[in-house]
Amino acid sequence: MITIMLVVTLVPLAVMAVINSHLYHNSLKQQNIDQLLGIVNKTKHSIQLYLQERLSTVQYIANGNTVEELRDANQLRNVFHTLSENISGFVDIGLINPDGQQVAYVGPYDLEGKDYSEHKSYHEVKVNGSYISDVFKGYRGFPHIVIAVKLTGPDHKSWVLRTTINIDNLNEILAAMKLDPRADAFLLNRAGTIQTPSKFYGDVLDSFPMEMPAKTFQPTINETRDNQGNNLIMAYAYFPKLEFVLTVIKPSNLFLQSWYSLKGQMLGIFIGGTLLIIIVIFRLTNTMVRRIKQADERREVALRELEHAQKLSSIGRMAAGIAHEVNNPLAVINEKAGLIKDIIQNNSNIPQSEKLTKLSDSILATVERAKDITYRLLGFASRLETRYEKLNINNVLRDVVSFLHREAAERNVNINMDFDENLTKVSTDRGQLEQVFLNILTNAVTAVDDGGKVDISTWEEDLGTVGVSIKDNGHGMDKETLRHIFEPFFTTKTGYGTGLGLSITYGIIKKLGGEIKADSEINSGTIFYIYLPKNNSQGDFR
Partner 1 sequence: MNTNYKVLLVDDEDEFVSTLAERLEMRGYSTNVAYDGEEALESIETEMPAVVILDIKMPGLNGIEVLKRLLNLDPGLPVLLLTGYGSTEEGMQGMQIGAFDYMMKPLNIDELIKKMEEAISAKS
In the shown chain, the binding pattern of residues 110 to 129 toward partner 1, with x for contact by CB under 8 A and - for none, equals --------------------
C-alpha span between 423 and 417 (Å, rounded): 14
CA 134 to chain centre: 65
Interface residue with partner 1 among 328, 348, 523, 537 (CB under 8 A) is 328
For the CB of residue 345, give the shortest distance to partner 1 in the complex, in Å: 9
Among 61, 194, 248, 330, binds partner 1 (CB under 8 A): 330
Instruction: Pick the piece of the chain touching partner 1 (CB under 8 A) from 233-241, 338-346, 462-470, 514-522.
Output: 338-346
Size of the site for partner 1 (CB under 8 A): 37
Helices and strands (H, E) in the chain, number of each type = 12, 16
Q: Which stretch binds partner 1 (CB under 8 A): 220-228, 355-363, 426-434, 527-535?
A: 426-434
Taking CB under 8 A as the rule, does residue 227 contact partner 1? Answer: no
CB of 408 to partner 1, least distance (A): 13
Q: How far is CA 304 from CA 295, 298, 308, 451, in A?
A: 14, 10, 6, 50
In the set 98, 438, 446, 457, which binds partner 1 (CB under 8 A)? 438
135 or 415, CB closer to partner 1? Answer: 415
Q: List the one residue from 24, 50, 375, 419 that touches partner 1 (CB under 8 A).
A: 375
Closest CA to 192 of 131, 247, 252: 247
Q: Does 246 bind partner 1 (CB under 8 A)?
A: no
Least Å distance between CB 392 and partner 1? 15
Q: What would the DSSP string read from start to end of 248-266? A: EEEEHHHHTHHHHHHHHHH
* 399 binds partner 1 per the rule CB under 8 A: yes
Q: How far is CA 70 from CA 112, 121, 129, 250, in A?
A: 13, 19, 18, 47
Verify binding: residue 331, partner 1, rule CB under 8 A: yes
Strand partners, 163: 93, 147
The C-alpha atoms of residue 18 and residue 480 are separated, in whole angstroms, by 76
Rg (CA), the chain: 62
* Buried-state track 348-381, b at ≥16 Cβ within 10 A, e below 16: eeeeeeeeeeeebeebeeebeebbeebeebbbbb
Among 455, 468, 467, 506, which residue's Cα sits nearest to residue 485? Answer: 506
Least distance to partner 1, CB of residue 338, Å:
5
Residue 350 dihedral angles phi and psi, to the nearest 5°: -80, 130
Query: Cβ 355 to partner 1, closest distance in Å?
Result: 21
Which parts of this chain interact with partner 1 (CB under 8 A)?
A: 320, 323-324, 327-328, 330-336, 338-339, 342-343, 346, 367-368, 371, 374-375, 377-379, 381-382, 399-400, 402-403, 406, 430-431, 434-435, 438
